[in-house]
Amino acid sequence: MKNAVYIAIAAVLLLLMITLGTYQFKGDYGSGLTLSSELVPEGGTLSLNEPSDSVVPPDFLKMKPIQPRQPYIVIDCYCNKLYLRTADSVLLEADCSTGSGAGLYDTVSGRNWQFHTPKGVFTVHTKLPNPWWRKPDWAFVEEGIPIPRVESERLDNNMMGDYAIGFGDGYFIHGTIYERLLGIAVTHGCVRLSADKLRELYHRIGIGTRIYVY
């Protein structure tokens, strides 16, 4: 009986030691940054007035800082380039236009806007074919015309191209009628692409695809 107790204690200790020993061998590599590809389908919450150099919106602190396994979109605001890439290869490269950084002040209402593309990590929220643009107030303030009271007067079916990829808080990757300006930061915060690159991107990504903007 005593022997059985000894053997049981020894077995438990042995198992414990082997587990600890294995852990020491393994170190912390079992939970490396590259081992997970979890995608959280939540987008950014920056408003148009948020400065572009703000930190990642709080929503993204719920995400894991990882190297995604799925293809992801990268937007370089300095070079005005968009990439669809994986960890080790670039699948698509395109000239784009990002936020100009310009400011706009409405003397009537006292509101002001800063047209930055928000930096940080986002995910694709929506994929829209044949999108219509609902012109926000700043579009009318910028043109110096009164803000319409009728909703239909805000709608424009020409400006956004064939597709729009939404990444939260009214920001989209979309087409443009000003393709000549691609490569220059001229937008109000959205990201413009040429029609062919936009079509390719639209069909290669899904809801939840991560977007890294820097």
Partner 1 sequence: MYIRRHIRIGRIVSRGLRLFLLIFLCLLCFGCGGGSEQADPTNDTATSIKEIEKRLALSGHVYLIFDFNQMEVSIKLFGAAVRDCKFECDSAALDEWKSSLVSKPIIEDSVISFHLSSAKAMVGERELAIVAEVSQVSREEIQRFMPEEMVLYFGQGRRILIKTDAEGTPVSRLANLGNWFRESADAVLGRADIELRMSGPDAMALYGVVREVPKIIIKP
DSSP 109: T
Residues 173 to 192 in contact with partner 1, rule: CB under 8 A: 181, 183-186
147 near partner 1, rule: CB under 8 A:
no
Question: 205: burial class by Cβ within 10 Å (0-12, 13-18, 19+)?
Answer: buried
> Applying CB under 8 A, which of residues 1, 4, 28, 110 lies at the interface with partner 1?
28
How many alpha carbons lie under 13 Å from residue 84 in its C-beta half-sphere? Answer: 18
121 near partner 1, rule: CB under 8 A:
yes
> Applying CB under 8 A, which of residues 80, 117, 123, 209 lies at the interface with partner 1?
80
210 near partner 1, rule: CB under 8 A:
yes
206 near partner 1, rule: CB under 8 A:
no
Query: In b/e form, how buried is each residue of 4-37, taking b as 16+ CB within 10 angstroms?
Result: eeeeeeeeeeeeeeeeeeeeeeeeeeeeeeeeee
214 near partner 1, rule: CB under 8 A:
yes
What is the spatial distance between Cα 56 and Cα 90, in angstroms, rounded to a whole number?
A: 24
Q: Which is nearer to partner 1, 64 or 155 (CB)?
A: 64
> Applying CB under 8 A, which of residues 35, 87, 155, 177 lies at the interface with partner 1?
87
What is the spatial distance between Cα 98 and Cα 82, in angstroms, rounded to a whole number?
A: 10
84 in helix, strand or coil? strand
> Applying CB under 8 A, which of residues 1, 5, 33, 145 lies at the interface with partner 1?
33
In the bound complex, what is the minimum distance in angstroms from residue 128's beta carbon to partner 1? 25
> Applying CB under 8 A, which of residues 56, 91, 147, 195 lies at the interface with partner 1?
56
Minimal CA–CA distance to 202: which of 98, 128, 131?
Answer: 128
> Applying CB under 8 A, which of residues 59, 60, 123, 190 lies at the interface with partner 1?
60
181 in helix, strand or coil? helix
Neighbours of 176 (CB within 10 A): 22
* Rg, Å, the chain Cα set: 25
4 near partner 1, rule: CB under 8 A:
no
In the bound complex, what is the minimum distance in angstroms from residue 121's beta carbon to partner 1? 5
Q: Rule CB under 8 A: which residues touch partner 1?
A: 6, 10, 13-14, 17-18, 20-25, 27-29, 32-33, 53, 55-56, 60-61, 63-68, 72, 74, 76-81, 83, 87, 100-102, 119-121, 181, 183-186, 210, 212, 214
